[in-house]
Amino acid sequence: MSGRRLPGLLLATGQFLPVSDIHRLARTSSVARLVMDADSEILDMGRKVRRATAAQRRTILARYTSCMVDGCPLPAHLCQIDHIDNWSDGGATDLDRLGPTCQFHNRDRYRRPERYRLYRAGKDRWAFAYLGPRPTRRT
Ligand SMILES: [Zn+2]
């Protein structure tokens, strides 16, 4: 029997799989990194999913009291969980890269990123300073 015909071993179950199944899995699967806390709750999801998990949301609500844009009074529990690095730009759904923003600031930050500056507001907190519109050049 040649090496190409040997079956694959599915380590999780100890089950042997035909080579065709191994090839199909390799073509159709992706690798995901999950980081869990001591209670087995998922904290980091990488790029596998866009939306924050319930455990991530609970942790974020414990860290923040309001929208993470300076001066915005909307309480965190009424905010959306926002990717600090926009998801569409490759941002990860990892606890350290998520925070609460109100709907307005979530959209405005996406549309006008030049108006915001990210900074660390504590060991496990981020904030955005609102810089406002850039001055227009007079000709
Ligand atoms: Zn806001």
**Which pLDDT belongs to residue 106?**
95
Q: Which domains does the chain have, with CATH numbers?
A: 51-130 (1.10.30)
Which residue would you say has higher pLDDT here, 129 or 42?
129
Q: How many whole angstroms from 118 Cα to the centroid of ligand 1?
A: 14
**Do residues 79 and 101 make contact, with C-beta atoms less than 8 angstroms apart?**
yes
Rounded to whole angstroms, the Cα distance separating 30 from 25 reads 9
Q: Look at the chain and count its residues.
A: 139
The neighbour count for residue 110, using CB atoms within 10 Å, is 15
**Which pLDDT belongs to residue 1?**
44
**Which pLDDT belongs to residue 78?**
96
pLDDT in tens, 17-57: 777 877 787 788 766 566 667 776 667 777 777 888 888 99
Q: How many whole angstroms from 104 Cα to the centroid of ligand 1?
A: 6
Q: How many whole angstroms from 115 Cα to the centroid of ligand 1?
A: 13
Beta strands 15-17; 8-10: pairing state: antiparallel
Q: How many whole angstroms from 75 Cα to the centroid of ligand 1?
A: 9
**Do residues 72 and 80 make contact, with C-beta atoms less than 8 angstroms apart?**
no
Query: Looking at the whole model, is its pTM more than 0.95?
Result: no
Q: How many whole angstroms from 89 Cα to the centroid of ligand 1?
A: 21
Ramachandran class of 95: left when φ > 0, alpha when ψ lies in -120 to 50, beta otherwise: alpha
**Do residues 119 and 68 make contact, with C-beta atoms less than 8 angstroms apart?**
no
Q: How many whole angstroms from 60 Cα to the centroid of ligand 1?
A: 15
pLDDT in tens, 99-119: 999 999 999 999 999 999 999
Tokens representing 31? 């690798």
3-state secondary structure of 17: strand
